[in-house]
Amino acid sequence: MRRLLIFFGFVLLLFATTTLHANGGGSISYGETVEGDLTPNEEDTWTFRGEAGQRVVISAERFPHDPTSTLNPYLELYGPSGELLASDEDRGVGLDALLLGIELPEDGLYSIKVRSERAAWAEGGYQLAIAADTLPVGCDTPEGEIITGEFQSEIARTALTYRVYLPPCHENIQYPYIVLLHGSASSDSHWDRIGIDDAVMRGVALGRIPPVVLAMPFGGEYGNLNIFEEGNSYEYIILDEFMPLVEENYCLMTEPEGRAIGGISRGGFWAYMIGMRNPELFVSVGGHSPFFDLYHAPDTHNPLALALSVDGETMPRLWMDRGKFDYAQYYIDIMEERLVENNVPHTFNLYDTGEHREDYWTAHVDDYLAFYTEPWTEMDTLPACDETE
């Protein structure tokens, strides 16, 4: 059974069940997710009924989400007369395939073929999903938009770049947003490289998550420095410069209920530090393989110390994760122990595989988005961009 939620003009489908087809192949309906397995050189065929003019979204993902999987799903969509309408190999996250907003030419029975592009030797499980593409009024594409920009940081005394992912028709609605911080020695493109923009487009198009804006700043030198002076650290670049910038220039929610912050590795340290010191500003805080250390920050700023002193009832929603073989696991596990000791509510995911690497974060980017956007799935309406307080 599935239920429908109207969200900002989108129809949001919350999938309650996934259908397992052990041998792969069969029929699939709109709003359904099915699982299958591919052996080398195998091809599965799925069918569905479509109508002329209808737009569809079809996704084939490696499943379970394992960074060591060799499967590279390949999608082909055939019309009722057997003609090839569309195909894709890597439009989805990582090696996943995605057909986004394909318009059907006629009424009839359509076929989806799923195979691995590495057909001669690859095998593994996959997850196939299909949805009728429902767009907000006035939108004609499910594609989001990446904006790149630059601002002059008075704190860092240099220009810093940033990237913003904007959903379709972002000019009309004040969307919630997530500040996403990159890892050490990386840049504002880090989250794009692990597929966050593709994951948002796929998730929204399939009705898994609500539309959301992503704000991804470049930390520059300050993002790697252990400087924590009042008004003179990366914390204040984010709070006093970057967030006001994106809130002024893009149509975003500015209330705590509409903001989240998260980061990878060193970015996870900053997200936790900023979120735990300023819990009134965010609804959610995430750390993905967050790099903590007992000695690189004073207790007033070190998340490992803050974990023992904060009031758990005032904290935003907290998430941490790591792979089984993450080299930063020692202090991540200490953080987990301290949050438990201080009765701070949080989610900690220890995955069975994975190292401190981009393929690990790519494998779990959908999990991250599900966490961040969960508070926003029940929002029925949001203000229009031209509304004033």
**What is the DSSP track for 171-214?**
TTB-B-EEEEEPPTT--TTHHHHTTHHHHHHHHHHTTSS---EE
User: Taking Cα atoms as reference points, which of 110, 15, 99, 86 lies closest to residue 57?
Assistant: 99
Residue 332 phi, psi (nearest 5):
-60, -40
Spatial CB neighbours of 378, under 8 Å, sequence gap ≥ 6: 5
Determine contact, residues 65/366, Cβ cutoff 8 Å.
Answer: yes
Q: Which two tokens stand for residue 140?
A: 């004609």
Q: Show me where the domains of the chain are located.
A: 3-132, 145-376
Minimum mean pLDDT range among 39-43, 201-205, 228-232: 39-43
* CATH code, residues 3-132: 2.60.120.380
- pLDDT band at 119; cut points 50, 70, 90: low
- Paired strand residues for 187: none
Minimum mean pLDDT range among 36-40, 108-112, 156-160: 36-40
Consecutive H or E run containing 236: helix 234-236
User: Taking Cα atoms as reference points, which of 1, 2, 8 lies closest to residue 210?
Assistant: 8
Q: At what angle do helices 196-205 and 365-373 cross, to 10 degrees?
A: 60
63-116, pLDDT tens digit by residue?
988 777 888 899 999 999 999 999 999 889 988 999 998 999 999 999 999 998
Angstrom distance (rounded) from CA 144 to CA 141: 8
| DSSP-derived secondary structure letter, 229 | B
- pLDDT band at 171; cut points 50, 70, 90: confident
Q: What pLDDT score was predicted for residue 141?
A: 75
Q: What pLDDT score was predicted for residue 136?
A: 65
* H helix count then E strand count, the chain: 9, 20
pLDDT above 70 as % of the chain: 91
Determine contact, residues 351/324, Cβ cutoff 8 Å.
Answer: yes
Is the pLDDT at 142 greater than 90? The verdict is no
- pLDDT band at 340; cut points 50, 70, 90: very high
Q: What pLDDT score was predicted for residue 10?
A: 42
- pLDDT band at 14; cut points 50, 70, 90: very low
Query: Higher model confidence: residue 74 or residue 8?
Result: 74
Angstrom distance (rounded) from CA 326 to CA 116: 29
- Paired strand residues for 201: none
User: Taking Cα atoms as reference points, which of 26, 17, 121, 33 lies closest to residue 69?
Assistant: 121
- Rounded alpha-carbon distances, angstroms, from residue 187 to 193, 263, 327: 10, 12, 21
Angstrom distance (rounded) from CA 106 to CA 119: 31
For domain 145-376, give the fold.
Answer: Rossmann fold (3.40.50)
Query: In 218-332, which ranges are E strands?
Result: 259-264, 284-288, 317-322
Q: Which two tokens stand for residue 152?
A: 């002059």
- Paired strand residues for 149: 162
Q: What pLDDT score was predicted for residue 137?
A: 64
Which residue bears the tokens 């595989």?
353
Q: What pLDDT score was predicted for residue 315?
A: 98
Spatial CB neighbours of 82, under 8 Å, sequence gap ≥ 6: none
Q: What is the mean pLDDT of residues 144-149?
A: 93
Angstrom distance (rounded) from CA 66 to CA 127: 13
230-244, pLDDT tens digit by residue?
999 999 999 999 999
* Single-letter code of the amino acid located at 343: N
Burial class (CB in 10 A: 0-12, 13-18, 19+), 230: exposed
Q: How many CA atoms lie within 13 A of 234 on its CB side?
A: 27
